[in-house]
């Protein structure tokens, strides 16, 4: 005797695409005899993919997948027998109507299906149904037999919960790019905050840099370990927020936390801790943001704040923003010009084709790769002596990405076949990177700084003296990056120049400061003394040189410039 459910199943099989061969323990029979259905809803559905990588930070940098830990996937479903929101009294009535009273035989109820789209060659370890694009995983929960008590009152007693776990293996060919890049640098705190100079800066930043140039003469006895993490995701957007879930820096000996200071985005972070089990310094939960485009970075560097912008600047910013939006839309377009949906295909679920009628590759349907970057996480080592005795430092960085890097998507359907909107599956990729930092190379590649200060008494500060400095720098092959008078009285002028030295770029920062004052010139003629008021002043030049790997070249260049500057300054001194 045919039932309506048998007829619906026959129609589905008639119009369904041909199934692909897949490794599975068994094929799911859609018309299993005696199967029980219940209108229950899971509390949580979580799909987690884990990826492991090895990275070496040295002169011969290397980043590759960890061969000993292949990618793995896990489906976690939780359903409480609460009798209210999840396994409701209606669901318990469904079970009682399909099983005999007092049943003690093991029985499971199907409460829905978890449907995966774009799973590719992903392999599941349990029974699934596969066609050309979709994989359906039935959600079965035990309702009787085994350790469960007799009857069905336990289904609504709100004392137990069912947790279902299903393992699967993501496609080893994906992700096609290395998703996480970690950068760890050793820096001197005195030279760590200069940043990359540009041709234009807002007044506040210029004043802050000028103060740093002036105060660099007092060196700090500590060392800074700066960590920056980048995540590369295909098709991401501003609503996607990866986060650094854990940073663990191995430390050779048990030490007090007073020896460390952690700053994130320039602010003190109190979440640092020492783990005696792993002998490492740890912190966690650092949110990442979408890396800005070049036009936005340029605008930020120039300090074009909204309150200081003119109407023309606002119009230009709007134009650039519109261009960026158009670029984003073009990146998301498929090659055949059709408008894609969220899954990167048309609404009918058919394969997209190009304008010439050929089938488009799946990578062509994906959106452009976007980069998310963490703020600079600076670990200041107050007593770095123990670090100098080590040859390498081992670290670990875990990143949580709220999407599946295999490209798979998931939807939850209830026992009646309707989409469950109240329980959207949580999709998470956890990427763990084991890092080895070769300390000899890290120390050799760090940027070092040296400073000098010159004082010229009875030299009036004015733009002519700044021109003397610029001419001297130009004569030694330096290119001007920044040239701005910060204030007139007391006089303050900031200069930034650079010159290529081998593969690196040497930077020289000069702050010219001075003040004007009145003095008197006395002259004795025929026994009488004549006093004449004259203008005079004092001039100070603070110089900072920065170069990667060595300070010898910087010191040599600064000494040569000092010798050149002393001669013209001596000729312009005010004589009394």
φ, ψ dihedrals at 287, nearest 5°:
-80, 145
**Section 266-277 average pLDDT:** 83
| pLDDT value of residue 319 | 40
Would you state the pLDDT for residue 440? 84
Mean pLDDT of the chain, nearest integer: 77
The CA–CA distances, whole Å, from 67 to 57, 64, 124, 177, 513 equal 19, 9, 21, 16, 59
pLDDT for the residue 571: 67
Which residue would you say has higher pLDDT here, 93 or 363? 93
Q: Which of 143-147, 355-359, 549-553, 568-572 has the lowest mean pLDDT?
A: 355-359
Q: Which residues contact 82 (CB under 8 A, 6 or more apart)?
A: 156, 158
352 has pLDDT over 70: no
Please, what is the Cα angle at 442 between 437 and 444, to 5 degrees? 150
Cα separation, 156 vs 9, in Å, equals 31
* Average pLDDT for 224-239: 85
| Number of C-beta neighbours around residue 287 at 10 A | 12
pLDDT on residue 362:
43
Residue 134: the pLDDT is: 77
Total Cβ atoms within 10 A of residue 324: 15
Percent of the chain with pLDDT over 90: 22
Collapse the DSSP code of 561 into the 3-class scheme (helix H, G, I; strand E, B; otherwise coil) and give the result.
helix
The whole-number pLDDT of residue 163 equals 93
Angle between the N-to-C axes of helices 463-475 and 552-571, in degrees from 0 to 180, rounded to the nearest 10: 140
> What letter would DSSP give residue 359?
B
In the prediction, which pLDDT does 75 show? Answer: 93
| Pairwise pLDDT comparison (425 vs 186), residue with the higher score | 425
What end-to-end distance do the CA atoms of the chain give, in Å?
Answer: 122
| pLDDT, greater one: 382 or 340 | 382
Residue located via tokens 């603070």: 542
| For residues 325-332, average pLDDT | 46
Kindly calculate the radius of gyration of the chain based on its CA atoms and give it in whole angstroms.
34
Query: Could you give the CA distance from residue 349 to residue 382 in angstroms, rounded to a whole number?
Result: 59
Identify the pLDDT of residue 26: 39
Q: Per-residue pLDDT for 130 more than 50?
A: yes
pLDDT at position 364, please?
44
Residue 419 has pLDDT above 70, yes or no: yes
Quick one: angle between helices 294-301 and 311-332, nearest 10?
Answer: 150
Q: What phi and psi values does residue 317 have, to the nearest 5 degrees? A: -65, -40
The CA distance from 15 to 28, in Å, is 18
Please list, in sequence order, all residues whose beta carbon lies within 8 angstroms of the beta carbon of residue 325, skipping any fewer than 6 positions away. Answer: none
- Per-residue pLDDT, averaged over 271-275, amounts to 86
Say whether pLDDT at 431 is over 90: yes
pLDDT for 243? 94
For the whole model, what pTM was predicted?
0.69
**Cβ contact 476:499 at 8 Å:** yes
CB atoms near residue 170 (< 10 Å): 25
Q: Is the pLDDT of residue 31 over 70?
A: no
Q: At 104, is the pLDDT very low, low, confident or very high (cuts 50, 70, 90)?
A: confident
With a CB cutoff of 8 Å and minimum separation 6, the contacts of 334 are 340, 344, 352, 360, 364, 365
pLDDT at 334: 33
Q: Which two tokens stand for residue 250?
A: 């191995």
- 535, 460 Cβ separation under 8 angstroms: yes
pLDDT of residue 483 exceeding 60, the answer is yes
- C-alpha span between 37 and 21 (Å, rounded): 28
Q: In the structure, what pLDDT confidence band is assigned to residue 150 with cuts at 50, 70 and 90?
A: confident
Q: Which of 392, 119, 357 is nearest to 251 (CA)?
A: 392
Mean pLDDT, range 275-295, rounded to an integer? 83
pLDDT of residue 568 exceeding 80, the answer is no
Pairing relationship of beta strands 286-287 and 243-250 according to DSSP bridges: antiparallel
Q: What gap in Å lies between CA 138 and CA 128, rounded to an integer?
A: 7
pLDDT at 80 over 60: yes
Residue partners of 233: CB distance under 8 A and separation at least 6: 179, 240, 242, 369, 370, 372, 401, 403, 405
Between 493 and 136, the higher pLDDT residue? 493
Per-residue confidence (pLDDT) for residue 42, from 0 to 100? 94
Residue 238 has pLDDT above 80, yes or no: no
For 489-557, strand residue ranges (E) read 491-501, 504-525, 528-548
Helix/strand/coil for 35: coil
Q: Please tell me the predicted confidence (pLDDT) of residue 576.
A: 56
* pLDDT value at residue 399: 96
Vertex 58 angle, CA 378 and 262, to 5°:
10
* In the chain, ranges of CATH 3.30.310 domains: 446-571
User: 436 pLDDT exceeds 90?
Assistant: yes
Give residue 219's pLDDT: 60
Say which CATH class 446-571 falls into. Answer: alpha beta
What is the pLDDT confidence band of residue 181, given thresholds at 50, 70 and 90?
Answer: very high
Percent of the chain predicted with pLDDT > 70 = 75
In this structure, are residues 79 and 412 in contact, taking their beta carbons and an 8 Å threshold?
A: no
What average pLDDT score do residues 308-320 get? 45
* Residue 286 binned pLDDT confidence (cut-offs 50, 70, 90): very high
Q: How far apart are alpha carbons 508 and 480 in whole angstroms?
A: 10
Q: Which two tokens stand for residue 358?
A: 């050929």
| DSSP at 366 | S
Burial class for 538, CB neighbours closer than 10 Å (0-12, 13-18, 19+): middle
Where residue 309 falls among pLDDT bands split at 50, 70, 90? Answer: very low
pLDDT of residue 369: 84
d(CA 350, CA 329): 22
Band of residue 1 on the pLDDT scale cut at 50, 70, 90: very low
Inform me whether the pLDDT recorded for 408 exceeds 80: yes
Which of the two residues, 237 and 176, has the higher pLDDT score?
Answer: 176
- 106 pLDDT higher than 70: yes
d(CA 224, CA 291): 24
């Amino acid at each position: 005797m045919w039932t309506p459910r048998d007829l619906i199943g026959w129609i589905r099989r008639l119009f369904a695409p041909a199934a692909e061969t897949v490794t599975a323990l068994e094929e799911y029979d859609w018309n299993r005899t005696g199967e029980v259905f219940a209108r229950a809803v899971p509390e949580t559905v979580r799909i987690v993919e884990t990826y492991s990588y090895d990275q070496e930070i040295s002169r011969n940098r290397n980043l590759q997948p960890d061969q000993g830990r292949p990618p793995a996937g896990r489906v976690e479903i939780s359903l409480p027998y609460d009798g209210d929101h999840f396994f409701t009294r209606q669901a318990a009535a469904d079970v009682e109507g399909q099983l005999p009273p007092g049943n003690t035989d093991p029985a499971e109820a199907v409460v829905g299906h978890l449907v995966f789209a774009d799973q590719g060659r992903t392999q599941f370890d349990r029974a699934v149904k596969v066609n050309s694009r979709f994989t359906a995983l039935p959600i079965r929960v035990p309702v009787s037999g085994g350790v469960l008590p007799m009857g069905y009152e336990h289904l609504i007693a709100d004392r137990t919960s069912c947790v279902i776990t299903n393992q699967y293996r993501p496609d080893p060919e994906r992700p096609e790019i290395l998703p996480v890049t970690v950068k760890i640098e050793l820096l001197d705190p005195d030279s760590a905050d200069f940043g990359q100079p540009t041709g234009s800066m807002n007044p506040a930043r210029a004043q802050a840099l000028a103060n740093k140039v002036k105060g660099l003469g007092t060196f700090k006895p500590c060392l800074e370990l700066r960590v920056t993490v980048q995540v590369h995701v295909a098709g991401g957007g501003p609503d996607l927020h990866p986060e650094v879930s854990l940073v663990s820096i191995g430390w050779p000996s048990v030490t007090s936390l007073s020896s460390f200071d952690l700053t994130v985005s320039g602010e003190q972070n109190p979440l640092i801790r020492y783990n005696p089990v792993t002998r490492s310094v740890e912190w966690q939960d650092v949110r990442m943001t979408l890396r800005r485009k070049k036009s936005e970075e340029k605008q930020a560097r120039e300090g074009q704040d909204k309150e200081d912008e003119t109407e023309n600047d606002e119009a230009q910013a709007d134009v650039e923003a519109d261009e960026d939006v158009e670029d984003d839309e073009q990146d998301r377009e498929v090659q055949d010009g059709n408008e894609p949906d969220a899954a990167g295909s048309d609404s009918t679920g058919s394969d997209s084709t190009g304008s010439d009628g050929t089938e488009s590759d799946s990578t062509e349907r994906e959106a452009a790769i976007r980069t998310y970057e963490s703020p600079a996480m600076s670990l200041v080592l107050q007593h770095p002596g123990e670090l100098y005795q080590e040859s390498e430092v081992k670290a670990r960085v875990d990143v949580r990405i709220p999407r599946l890097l295999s490209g798979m998507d998931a939807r939850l359907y209830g026992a009646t076949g309707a989409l469950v909107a109240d329980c959207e599956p949580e999709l998470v990729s956890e990427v763990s990177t084991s890092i080895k930092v070769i300390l000899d190379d890290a120390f050799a590649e760090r940027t070092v700084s040296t400073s000098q200060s010159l004082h010229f008494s009875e030299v009036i500060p004015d733009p002519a003296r700044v021109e003397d400095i610029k001419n001297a720098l130009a004569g030694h092959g330096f290119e001007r990056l920044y040239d701005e008078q910060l204030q007139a009285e007391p006089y303050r002028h900031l200069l930034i120049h650079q010159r290529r030295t081998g593969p690196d770029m040497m930077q020289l920062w000069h702050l010219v400061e001075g003040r004007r004052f009145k003095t008197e010139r006395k002259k004795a003629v025929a026994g009488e003394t004549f006093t004449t008021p004259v203008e005079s002043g004092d001039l100070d030049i603070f110089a900072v040189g920065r170069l990667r790997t060595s300070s010898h070249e910087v010191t040599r260049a600064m000494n040569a410039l000092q010798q050149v500057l002393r001669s013209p300054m001596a000729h312009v001194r005010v004589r009394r």
